[in-house]
A and B are shown apart, each in its own frame.
Chain A
């Protein structure tokens, strides 16, 4: 795929930068979902349940990033964690906390499986940087 942003040398012209910035900044104003809501729909809809919406902003009010992305081992890249319902029931991923102790348990399917049909996995809400977190 042609990528206009590759091979930009350090003296990137202001007009290019401006165009790039505008391209990413403009669509943001029509985004509605909360900034940093994560849609997880790699398996859910195919298996007949609503896509999962993970409210990232809600969780960071209660835990530092370090807890999930270091202690609990979540990769900081949407889609890079192979989260399945079986793994959650085994106490992995969301199941490390949604266990009736740290937070409410897994019988409340509808609190997680709350998305509209057809959503694609990815971070939502006026994301102003392109692509998945890339490193």
Chain B
């Protein structure tokens, strides 16, 4: 499904974008048709793009941030998100993500929400118990530093920011044996959806945010020999 839809949507978008960024050309084409039809009435020269129009056209094709998604396209409403059926009577009842997120702290990736910050500042106050709104989370304050070979800063795994949301049994022992050094973790595994990638890249901030995990600069980095 995905393999079919995405190139298709891409083609449609490309078409739409092409139509938008080359108004001078489309106008010229439309005028051209008119001119042809009226050719017998008046012998006007065929419309030619003015230098300004040519400049606009060149700019339109060669923009900055060509491969970046514009902010306005983030968090689309359900009817336009490509998976909800706009004709389904329930779809308009659903809360658009932009509305739900309007008061939360923002970030640069995933759903563009900084969930750690939003929880800390009570912008969200998710229940820790299904029914009891006053149940308090049991937070373990224990940072695990994982040394990384090469130049990347070391990884600091913070228990506090995870146990604010999760139970110990969500990770131990199925994903991680609770003993420092008993687990091998690599970026390749994370990108394949294992280890940290069980959540990061799926429901928590994605792998593109290197610095959030690789947060401890090497003590010995950049020391000349």
Q: Name A's B-contacting residues (CB within 8 A).
A: 5, 8, 10-12, 14, 17, 20-21, 24-25, 27-37, 39, 50, 53, 55-58, 60-67, 69-72, 76, 96-97, 102, 108-120, 123-135
Of B16-24, B25-33, B52-60, B72-80, which stretch is located at the interface? B72-80
Contacts of B113 in A (CB 8 A): 57
Could you give 21 example pairs across A and B, Cβ below 8 Å?
A: A5-B188, A12-B186, A17-B188, A30-B9, A33-B81, A34-B75, A35-B110, A50-B88, A56-B203, A61-B124, A64-B128, A64-B164, A66-B167, A67-B129, A115-B85, A124-B83, A129-B191, A129-B207, A134-B198, A135-B174, A135-B195
Contact B166 A69, beta carbon cutoff 8 Å: yes
| Given known A35-B111, A64-B137, A124-B83, contact A24–B207 (CB-CB < 8 A) | yes
At the interface, yes or no: B40 with Cβ under 8 Å from chain A? no
Nearest-neighbor residue (CB-CB) of A69 within chain B: B170
At the interface, yes or no: B84 with Cβ under 8 Å from chain A? yes
| Given known A66-B165, A116-B83, contact A25–B9 (CB-CB < 8 A) | no
Interface residues in B82-101 by Cβ distance below 8 A to A read 82-85, 88-91, 93-95, 97, 100
Contacts of A135 in B (CB 8 A): 174-175, 194-195, 198
How many residues belonging to B are interface residues under a CB distance threshold of 8 Å?
A: 71
Contacts of B110 in A (CB 8 A): 35-36, 126
The listed residue (A33, A61, A132) touching B100 by CB distance below 8 A is: A61
| Given known A5-B192, A10-B149, A114-B84, contact A60–B203 (CB-CB < 8 A) | yes
At the interface, yes or no: B130 with Cβ under 8 Å from chain A? yes
Complex CA gap A70/B172 in Å reads 12
At the interface, yes or no: B105 with Cβ under 8 Å from chain A? no
Identify the 10 closest CB pairs spanning chains A and B, nearest first: A110-B90, A129-B201, A35-B111, A128-B206, A70-B167, A32-B82, A131-B193, A129-B197, A128-B201, A133-B198
Contacts of A114 in B (CB 8 A): 78, 84-85, 88, 90-91, 94
| Given known A29-B68, A109-B90, A123-B203, contact A53–B80 (CB-CB < 8 A) | no
Complex CA gap A70/B189 in Å reads 24
Min CB distance B220 to A, Å, is: 18
Complex CA gap A132/B192 in Å reads 8
Complex CA gap A31/B191 in Å reads 17
At the interface, yes or no: B62 with Cβ under 8 Å from chain A? no
Bits for B115-140, please: 1 = Cβ < 8 Å to A, else 0.
10000000010111111000001000
Complex CA gap A25/B124 in Å reads 28
Complex CA gap A135/B127 in Å reads 26
Interface centre among B110, B137, B150, B191 (most CB of A within 10 A): B191
The listed residue (B115, B164, B190) touching A129 by CB distance below 8 A is: B190
Min CB distance A132 to B, Å, is: 6
Complex CA gap A125/B177 in Å reads 30
Interface centre among A61, A123, A129 (most CB of B within 10 A): A129
Nearest-neighbor residue (CB-CB) of A101 within chain B: B131
Min CB distance A76 to B, Å, is: 7
11 further A-B contacts with Cβ under 8 Å, apart from A76-B199, A102-B130, are: A8-B186, A30-B6, A30-B10, A32-B81, A39-B83, A65-B166, A67-B129, A70-B170, A110-B93, A114-B84, A119-B83
